[in-house]
Amino acid sequence: MATETEKITNLKSSVAGLNQISENEKSGFINLVSRYLSGEAQHVEWSKIQTPTDKVVVPYETLAPTPDGVEATKSLLDKLVVLKLNGGLGTTMGCTGPKSVIEVRNGLTFLDLIVIQIESLNTKYGCNVPLLLMNSFNTHDDTQVIVEKYSNSNIEIHTFNQSQYPRLVVEDFQPLPCKGQTGKDGWYPPGHGDVFPSLMNSGKLDALIAKGKEYVFVANSDNLGAIVDLKILHHLVENKNEYCMEVTPKTLADVKGGTLISYEGKVQLLEIAQVADENVNEFKSIEKFKIFNTNNLWVNLNAIKRLVEADALKMEIIPNPKEVDGVKVLQLETAAGAAIRFFENAIGINVPRSRFLPVKATSDLLLVQSDLYTLTDGFVIRNKARTNPANPSIELGPEFKKVASFLSRFKSIPSIIELDNLKVSGDVWFGSNIILKGNVTVAAKSGVKLEIPDDVVLENKTISGPEDI
């Protein structure tokens, strides 16, 4: 077996010949692999974990009100940049391009909504909040074309790419592109932890700092709840917090989400992958770990520059094994939330659940397209008519997995304000103006097409054929 040093030496000479990527990307990749091989995985001692106090994870309702007046608001917003992580493809939902161009409501895409939101801030306060999109090599070309349509809008849009790293062949630790895999399959984007070095390497970081920008608000482009919040920004500026992670109370749907802990005097992110098997049940319990990471992050730009230049952001490495054409490969990734422990005066803010509204599957799309939400100035706002703070639980069968088939199976999205649970399986088709209440299960028998007629109200029902409606 090759020693660790030999593996790295061989890898370095192979990577040197990969002319598709920059010197920065080559050194970043070698750095990541060296750290992985040296096994510096940081083990968390379970007994040392402490629940963070309200000083470390600040309750949202205790934040000071923002200063009054347009001028004060403008000067606050002029410190801000919004960055959306736009590297993901909508493949899970059967789409080919960037996920951010899936239509969410009223014919508007995620990206349309983001642009409308920031535009309305810029117009209302006369400020200049730019939008940055971090693409991956998978979404870059499509996004460039899409962004064209906003060229006349009141918003500066910048795009940059996150790093492109070669997949590693498990057997001999050589880059997959050196094995003749010259297409896109030979490469991968190394997770959103890469946002910090990529921001720096693209030249965007220095340009923003030169313009007097101080904070970047980073969020996933598919989280419709991740809107600019002046109270949070004001708090960070006043308290000189270099980093803030928005967390929100866990429900049973979020038990796998990373959580914030106090550990040896520092606040840090604890992910399920770092938890030993015997502690997993405790990690998932809602009693001990009450909050989880929404991946809405607020970070000071000068602090990013300082830490990237010092090569100090050594986030936990997440190994992601894959298979390409029968070859076992490894992707090493990092997560932006794990960087929290390297920043000075880092905090969490325990925000309302409304700031976490991700669309990962068509069941989430059903929620945001329904009467549970309305759309105002690009903001998706929850309908006050729903008294239950939790959203309905929705499970749709594989027939609904792709956006196109999901849309074709609903003549119109049903009313779900009074719905608790919906389970749909089999070949089911919904008419228009249907109202769902309580617990509803619709299970078509195998090989049978089940049509739910227009204008029906289904309340606490299990339906397996027309006779049950």
Encode pLDDT of 133-147 as tens digits: 999 999 999 999 999
Residue 254 is assigned to a ligand binding site:
no
The reported pLDDT for the residue numbered 1 is 67
At 44, give phi and psi (nearest 5°).
-95, 125
d(C-alpha 37, C-alpha 3), whole Å? 10
Determine if residue 141 is labeled as part of a ligand binding site: no
Mean model confidence pLDDT for the chain: 93
Q: Does residue 40 have a pLDDT over 80?
A: no
Q: Is the pLDDT of residue 41 over 70?
A: no
SS3 104: strand
Closest CA to 348 of 251, 216, 254, 249: 249
- The pLDDT of residue 274 is 84
Q: Determine whether 242 is exposed, middle or buried from the number of CB atoms within 10 Å of its CB (0-12, 13-18, 19+).
A: buried
Q: Which residues contact 326 (CB under 8 A, 6 or more apart)?
A: none
Displacement of CA 155 from its chain's centroid (Å): 23
Q: Is residue 192 marked as binding?
A: yes
* Contact status, residue 237 vs residue 215, Cβ threshold 8 Å: yes
Q: Is the pLDDT of residue 2 over 80?
A: no
- 383 close to 373: Cβ distance less than 8 angstroms: yes
Distance CA 12, CA 389 (A): 53
Let me know: does 235 contact 241? Beta carbons within 8 Å. Answer: yes
Which pLDDT value is given to residue 133? 97
Cβ count near 20 (within 10 Å): 12
pLDDT of 398 reads: 96
Residues forming beta bridges with residue 341, ordered by sequence position: none
pLDDT at position 221 is: 95
Q: Is residue 3 pLDDT above 90, yes or no?
A: no
Q: Band the pLDDT of 164: cuts 50, 70, 90.
A: very high
Known binding residue 140? Answer is no
Residue carrying the six token digits 């040896």 = 264
pLDDT tier at 96 (50, 70, 90 boundaries)? Answer: confident
Q: Give residues with Cβ within 8 angstroms of 364, minimum separation 6.
A: 357, 358
Task: For 312, list phi and psi in degrees, rounded to 5.
Answer: -100, -10
pLDDT band, residue 296 (cuts 50/70/90): very high
pLDDT level of residue 390 (50, 70, 90 thresholds): confident
Tokens of 88: 């993901």
The stretch 395-421 carries a mean pLDDT of: 96
pLDDT interval class at 273 (50, 70, 90): confident
pLDDT band at 252 (very low <50, low <70, confident <90, very high): confident
pTM of the model: 0.94
To the question of whether residue 191 is assigned a binding role by annotation, the answer is: yes
- As given in the structure block, the two tokens for residue 468 are 């049950």
Strand partners, 381: 374
Cα separation, 289 vs 283, whole angstroms = 6
222 is in an annotated binding site: yes
